[in-house]
Amino acid sequence: MSDFFKRYDHIEFERQGRILTVRLNRPEAMNAANAALHTELSRLFADLDDDPDSDVIVLTGNGRAFSAGGDLDWMQDAIDEPERFHVTIREAKRILVGQLSMEKPIIARVNGHAMGLGASLAVSCDVAIAADTAKIGDPHVAVGLVAADGGALLWPQMTGYLRAREYLLTGDAIPATKAADIGLLTDAVPTEDLDARVYGLAERLVAGKTNAIRWTKIAINRPLVALAAHHADAAFADEIRSNETAEHAEAVRAFAEGKQGKA
């Protein structure tokens, strides 16, 4: 394993030939991002592109979820100390632009729910294949935040503006089968078929013409990279503003109290 992968505490790596599987590893929190995982994600995609021993990446989560989004305690920290959120936003832009700019193809193995940041990670992959029991959604608005870390920029390109507005303005979760129908996911398959579908494609790409595949990917993603580069700062500025509102603080408190009540 390349030395830079030893720097990760919340992400696991496994090689199968020149396929590298990358697993978000906070299963006790449904792989929700805390400050440490978010920082690791901000350097992950550059490291993956620099890894000399892989040609195809599979991104997935350990446990029953792909990623539940952002950790509530981490959100509260950003409310209590808003300057922390500026660090988060700088990292968020590196995640978004870094993932879209990767040369190597990356396949999302959406083993369970992909929400918020998890949804952005999934749809920013080149192919996103989900278990048909999974759901995907961007519920930023449910906690009083702007959906800036991929949702507002990428979803309209994939589903069209009318559909994207409905789901981003409500924060509703979408069953994987419907998400595949509207273009937000590539495919939704029975759970028992997920690995065969994901790794069958990964093996086909590994066996293909590496340079042609990488450069075709770059050509396809160039408009999305330009979109993120030119418009992400404004969207993230809106998210920073929303982090400092009373409605966000109240929503996070209500979610936390609800979680505690169920424990």
Sorting pLDDT into bands at 50, 70 and 90, what band is 18? very high
Query: What pLDDT, on a 0 to 100 scale, did the predictor assign at position 74?
Result: 92
Structural contact between residues 91 and 36, judged by C-beta atoms closer than 8 angstroms: no
Distance (Å, whole) CA 232 – CA 249:
24
Helices (H), ranges, the chain: 35-50, 72-80, 82-101, 117-123, 151-159, 161-170, 176-181, 194-206, 210-243, 246-262
Q: What integer is the mean pLDDT of 88-105?
A: 96
Residues 6+ apart with CB under 8 A from 231: 153
Structural contact between residues 113 and 263, judged by C-beta atoms closer than 8 angstroms: no
pLDDT tens string 107-157: 999 999 999 999 999 999 999 999 999 999 999 999 999 998 889 999 999
Ranking 21-30, 56-65, 162-171, 250-259 by mean pLDDT, the lowest is: 250-259
Q: What are phi and psi of 15, to 5 degrees?
A: -100, 140
Distance (Å, whole) CA 139 – CA 146:
9
Please check the confidence at residue 197 and state whether its pLDDT lies above 80: yes
- pLDDT-above-90 percentage for the chain: 87
Please check the confidence at residue 261 and state whether its pLDDT lies above 50: no
Query: With respect to CATH, is domain 3-262 assigned 3.90.226.10?
Result: yes
Q: Where are the domains of the chain?
A: 3-262
Distance (Å, whole) CA 117 – CA 39:
13
Structural contact between residues 48 and 54, judged by C-beta atoms closer than 8 angstroms: yes
Structure tokens at 46: 């550059």
